[in-house]
Amino acid sequence: MLHLIGRTLMWLAGWKIEGDEPQLPKFVVIVAPHTTNWDLPVLLFASFVVRIKGSWLGKHTIFWWPLGPLLRAFGGIPLNRGASRNLVQQAADVFDARDEMILGLAPEGTRAKRPYWRSGFYYIALQARVPIVLIFADYARKVCGWGPVIYPTGSVTEDMDKIRAFYETITPYAPDKVGPMRLREEITPPADAEA
């Protein structure tokens, strides 16, 4: 049913899907640039069309009864920000415990322009030994879809250069809200990765 809803809404809105879903059991998927609330429905309906079920991270306190089971059913993964293990390690542990998992993250963390991206997506993928898959919504062409697969090497700038090269070809809804596509570690020495 969701597949039919997704196809109908994408067709009515004039959007198309491009690229092939990577045939990988586990990966981190990032969405960029993120400049509007419209990114969520466009990519959500696209996920219905291609029949994927992704996961997302949420603060453990929102997973209370009776909302908790519903949030988990929709891919929510509770993380404890006050735990002794950092969020990157907690997310990597979830990857280790599952045979299949697609974890979606928006590295900008907000629709407003930021001086750098949050680095959690990178370090989760590195720690969990899974690739990063780039997805996009190009508002100039009304196309969303799958981009390249990036295997993080630990060389932040080299890996980010590949990510930047792809996303520089994508037109966001609000180009004036796009900040630099870089991690804080590329500006200052790394302290601790942000999730």
pLDDT digits (tens, 9 = 90+) for 13-32: 888 999 888 999 999 999 88
- Model pLDDT for residues 76-116, shown as the tens digit of each residue: 888 777 665 688 998 999 999 999 999 988 888 777 788 88
For the chain, give every domain's residue range: 53-130
pLDDT at 43 over 90: no
pLDDT more than 90, % of the chain: 38
Residue 46 CA to residue 51 CA, distance in Å, equals 8
CA distance readout (Å), 76 to 60, 102, 123, 135: 10, 11, 19, 19
Helices 87-97 and 120-128: angle between axes, nearest 10 degrees? 40
Peptide bond into 148 cis (omega under 30): no
Q: Which of 4-8, 21-25, 71-75 has the lowest mean pLDDT?
A: 71-75
Contact indicator for 54, 47 with CB cutoff of 8 Å: yes
Whether 65 has a pLDDT exceeding 80, the answer reads: yes
